[in-house]
Each structure stands twice: as C-alpha cells, then as structure tokens.
Structure 1
Amino acid sequence: MTTPHSVDHDLIQAATQVAAARSRGDNHTVAAAARDRDGRIITAMNAYHFTGGPCAELVVIGAAAAQGAYDLVTMVAVGGRGVIPPCGRCRQVMLDYFPDLRVIVGAGGRPRAVPVAELLPESYRWQDHQEHDDDQQEHDGRTTTP
C-alpha cells in the first residue's frame, strides 16, 4: 500500500503488464489500473472505436463496479510509451465519481500522483448541480411523510 503522497508503483506495474499482454492492434492499446480503498487492484483495457469508444480509465471504473469496488483511491493509464494522462472526458468522469481520487501522471519515468481536482481546475462538478429529493419536494410544494 502507499501513502497519500507517494506514487503507487505496483499500480503502474499492473497496468503495464496488462498493456503488454493484452494490447491487440488498434482496438486495445491502453490499459488502466485502479486501487480501491481495500487495496484491491482492478485492471482494464480501452475499447477503441471511431465512434468514441471508452478509454481504459472509464472501462476500469465499470470493471471496478462489477467487482464491488466502489471507492477507488488511485488510478493510472499506461500505453506503449508508459504512463499517459487521462483525456478531458475521463478527468471529468473521475472527478464526478471519485472526487478524492489520486491520478498518476507524468511521462518520462517521472510519475507523480495528483488529486483529480488538480487536473480540472475550476471545473464543473455534476454533484454541485443536483438537487436532493427533499430539496426538490420543498421547491415543488410537496412534503415527505415521516
């Protein structure tokens, strides 16, 4: 396990191994690995498609949910050239699903773990614009029953 400020090299290695073993042509070129709060590592591959197939980071979020890992704490994506930063769509999804997530970025053998919020400064946050059921009912003039 790692401390909150250290780089999870085991996670990088897990993604690197999956990328090396499972990359197939242009369809699967990037692997992602995520660690949940319990220490489990979940891995996945991207599913490239010209219509905008999911990046490896989004696939690993779904794979984690399928395994009951709903509290991801660190994530990394790795391609043929090593650690790669998440795209804008992935950054937004990560921030919305896991606001406390640390993302490993940094190419050239100098990885660092940063809070996902630092990857999207002054970002839109989906949860900030959702009304809770009680708030909506009060707004609509409805009341809840005890």
Structure 2
Amino acid sequence: MTVQTPHVDDELIQAAAHVARTRCRGDNHTMAAAGRAQDGRIVTAVNAYHFTGGPCAELVLIGAAAAQGIYELDTIVAVGDRDRGVVPPCGRCRQVLLDYFPALKVIVGAEDRVRTVLVTDLLPESYVWADHQLDAE
C-alpha cells in the first residue's frame, strides 16, 4: 500500500534546484540533494561522480548533515542539473536512506506529479539493516 503525504516541501525542492543550477558543473557534479532536518534546517549536497561508483548526492548529504550535527532527516529530494527537475533516488540510495532514516519522506515525481512518499514505499518488503542492529544489542 502506497502512503502519500499531501504536503510537498517546495522550499526543499527550490534549495536543491538552486544548488543544481549554481554548483553542478561538468560531468563530476550532475545532481544536487536537499534534506530537511527534524529541527527545520536545510542541508544541501552534490554528487561526486567517478567511474568507480562515486557517491550520489543523497549519500553525500547524509555525511554533510552529520558534519553539521544533524542525525535525523525528515524529508529529502534530489534534483538534476540542466533543469532536469526532481529525480528519484537510485536503488542503492533507497536502501541506505531506509537504513539510516526508516521514517524518511522522499519527494519524487515529475513536474505536475511531484509528491511526497515514505522511503518504505520506494523499497517495499526490504531488508532493514537498522533492525539487524537492534538485534545485536
């Protein structure tokens, strides 16, 4: 069952779009991400493309948030350079986001179909690494 939240964080989309427009250059940085912390702060990041599999913008954002003392994210969005708009997270990012933030909201969809969904809806019936960590304690 897909649970959609009616609210779309337009400010978060605009923050990611601004970074994509102003900081993504060439082939090394083609995606920007923005995340809203539980306390309302916004963190942004860009991907670091490399042929060996450099990190996506969403993964860089997790580290950037931690560097600012933000360990709980409420919502995340990725936006492509060259005005490509909102881009859904790849499979690896979906799994990592789910593991780090099981209640995370993710903004997905194109143009007039942009919506907010739970990360669990993007990766249904998945293995949750965080559950394993609880068992180990």
With normalisation by structure 1, the TM-score equals 0.86
Partner residue in 1 for 2:75: 74
Q: Among 110, 115, 118, which residue is 1:112 paired with?
A: 115
Residue aligned with 2:113, SS: coil
Alpha carbon RMSD of aligned pairs, Å?
1.1
**Long gaps (5+) in structure 2:** none
Partner residue in 1 for 2:22: 21
Q: Which has the larger radius of gyration?
A: 1
- Give CA-to-partner distance per residue, 1:69-93, whole Å, 9 cap, x none: 1110000000031000000000000
- Give CA-to-partner distance per residue, 1:72-126, whole Å, 9 cap, x none: 0000000031000000000000000000000000013321000000000110111
Q: Distance in 2 between matches of 1:109 and 1:66?
A: 34
Counterpart code for 2:69? G
1:54: how far off? 0.2
2:36 matched to 1:32?
A: no
Partner residue in 2 for 1:144: none
Q: Among 78, 85, 89, which residue is 1:86 paired with?
A: 89
**Long gaps (5+) in structure 1:** 134-146
Q: Distance in 2 between matches of 1:98 and 1:39?
A: 16
Residue aligned with 1:17, SS: helix
Q: Distance in 2 between matches of 1:50 and 1:67?
A: 28
Cα 1:53–1:103 change in 2 (3 A) is same
Q: Distance in 2 between matches of 1:128 and 1:72?
A: 18
Q: Is the 8 A contact 2:100 2:130 kept in 1?
A: no
1:132: how far off? 2.9
Give structure 1 regions of 4+ aligned residues with deviation exceeding 3 angstroms.
none
Q: What is the percent sequence identity of the aligned residues? A: 71
2:132 matched to 1:124?
A: no
Q: Distance in 2 between matches of 1:132 and 1:108?
A: 43
2:92 matched to 1:100?
A: no
Counterpart code for 1:10? E
